[in-house]
Structure 1
């Protein structure tokens, strides 16, 4: 597989994450960790079917347990910290801090063997972050009263960026290993749900459909294609392009009539697009 194709495959994860907010609104009755458990179980089931069809179960038995532990901590840890941050701090502030992960991916990628971080990579990531911040942090007002939530959000950003960058060091590990990550994360999410939440199921067909759609796409297939992208693609470009997710997410909410269109969408789109273009130029300079 070429680096370009792997990057395009990885970017489909960003497109799926753009639907995360829309489907989450549809499944709003379901507690966060319960929803996590169900979605990871669906994602794991998809991987199990894929592994069976391709006959790769034996290959998965050769993956070191440490790699499985790493992947499970990455998937479960990110979501647990994210939901905890949103409970301990206002969503705008916590969401903005958590969405430092694409910028951190770009910065951390410079530590990888064979990767060269250029000034345009950093400038592009900063411009794209500014574009995302326009959407995420409207009305944000940071306060020392929510320090714990901010710390959790920082942990969230570090967890996902670290997971994404370190995954590249495991390039020889098949992406279907995400099957085990998802199933293990489903078990941990179930335990956390039973300890911290009250089980609640959707009361409408829309709620059920949204819950299953989350498990199939944003909290399912997205992890598999992201794994391919960060292992074999242009990781700096993927990191910068990930800021398209909040933009596309807001656009999806507008299209569904849940949010109102605003001029800030256009400004955000320009900043994110320019940032991604700069990262792409830097990638061509490396080649």
Structure 2
């Protein structure tokens, strides 16, 4: 496989992942929040098992299997449920932006654990990311702490899940780099996530299935495929493509994701929202660049 073709495949992974916000909302609108997410992760697990084959557990460090499983499942639960429990599509897109704190938090945790040397760009990047999230929340109005608090209190569960999810994924990224031993356990982790979601679904006991349409099943199939092919394409890209280009491009996911969600969910996102999303993207990119310049 050529270097350029592998890089192109890796870039497709970013598009697959960026489409998740809009696709997941379409699925949960059709099947309900919990059942919709359960079905997505179950089908994605099957696709990943086909693509990557069942993992050979003896090849993985035990500490990584335990800690990695806990962090990955916790993150996927936080991400998917934060979007599923959003009160409307607009709020789902706003909540998704909060999740993109993770690149900046990853660099911050690397510095705190002394895995990375401090660089002034990190402060600039963190501030830009925070300003971007605030800009998304206040919309076209003037800055007001009360307004931000009011927006969050309208649906604290979604915002809290997205916020904690960002910290969890940052910790997972560091753990994978440190003790993952280069192994790919994504199929196993997805199966565990699906299992945890089904347990939650059974525990809640809300088995009422809404009226289903063919369109709901189409979105379900596309969503599961986007998850599965996203990880498969990314794996090919980082193994055989230009990893520097792919890493840099991945930091523009907030903007791409919001654009795809706007088209899929028929939303009109304000200019203030795009300003905020751009600041989050720029902040994350600067944090990554700080690690690159120190390297």
TM-score normalised by L of structure 2: 0.70
Which residue number corresponds to residue 190 of structure 2? 182
Separation in structure 2 between the aligned mates of residue 6 and residue 113 of structure 1, nearest angstrom:
33
Cα drift, residue 286 of structure 1? 1.7
Flag the 1:170–1:10 CA change in 2: closer, same or farther, 3 A.
Answer: farther
Could you say which residue in structure 1 is the equivalent of 2:58? 61
- Point out where structure 1 has 5 or more consecutive residues left out of the alignment: none
Distance across 2 between alignment mates of 1:250 and 1:71? 29
8 Å contact from structure 1 (residues 76, 189) kept in 2: no
Change (3 A) 1:95 1:285: closer
Alpha-carbon distance between aligned partners in 1 of 2:167 and 2:281, rounded to the nearest angstrom: 24
* Structure 1 counterpart of 2:144: none
Change (3 A) 1:69 1:88: farther
Partner of 1:174, secondary structure, is coil
Kept in 2: contact 1:12–1:222 (CA 8 A): yes
C-alpha spacing 1:15/1:221, structure 2 compared with 1 (3 Å): same
Paired residues, number: 274
Please report the RMSD computed on the Cα atoms of aligned residues, expressed in angstroms: 4.2
Whether 1:278 and 2:286 are equivalent positions in the alignment is yes
Q: Does 1:208 align with 2:208?
A: no
CA contact (8 A) 2:107 2:288 kept: no
Q: Is the 8 A contact 1:96 1:137 kept in 2?
A: no
Residue 142 of structure 1 corresponds to: 149
Cα distance between partner residues in 2 of 1:29 and 1:223: 25
Counterparts in 2 of 1:66 and 1:269: CA distance versus 1, 3 Å: closer
Asked if residue 19 in structure 1 is aligned to residue 19 in structure 2, the reply is yes
Equivalent runs, 1:228-243 vs 2, <5 Å: none
Q: TM-score, normalised by structure 1?
A: 0.72
Q: 1:107: Cα distance to partner?
A: 0.8
Instruction: Report if aligned partners of 2:101, 2:284 keep a CA contact under 8 Å in 1.
Output: no
Identify the match of residue 69 of structure 2 among 56, 66, 72: 72
Deviation at 1:245, TM superposition (A): 3.1
Deviation at 1:180, TM superposition (A): 0.8
Quick check: 2:24–2:37 contact (8 Å CA) kept in 1?
Answer: no
